Copies of this chain bind each other. A is one copy, B any other.
């Protein structure tokens, strides 16, 4: 089984997190994950092909936004809520709230 790298709490960079969340598809993904708590790639309904979704999943993981857990043939994504709150208090919450409020669409 492959090792998936996740940055350490202290290594998470603000600019990287903001970049990861500046893409409408990725904003949608984290919004979905927040609602369900944990979700596999296949359960996330985005208008891109599998390989593209995998790319977005990797971008979010490497920025420190999500944690990816291997479960059988699935990868379960969850938000790194606590780590982000510890490092950047209030940031994730205000982004998710802003996303819900303004209802920004993909594309």
Contacts and interface: CB of A to CB of B under 8 A. Distances in A.
A17 B60 CA distance: 18
Contacts of A24: 15
Query: Interface majority SS on A: helix, strand, loop or mixed?
Result: helix
Interface in A74-107: 87-91, 93-95, 97-99, 101-102, 104
A44 interface: no
Interface residues of A, number: 25
A63 to B, nearest CB: 10
Contact of A102 (B14, B27, B98, B104): B14
A94 B104 contact: no
Contact of A97 (B23, B89, B95, B104): B89
Q: Which of A13, A15, A19, A27 has the most CB of B within 10 A?
A: A15
Interface of A: 13-16, 18-19, 21-24, 27, 87-91, 93-95, 97-99, 101-102, 104
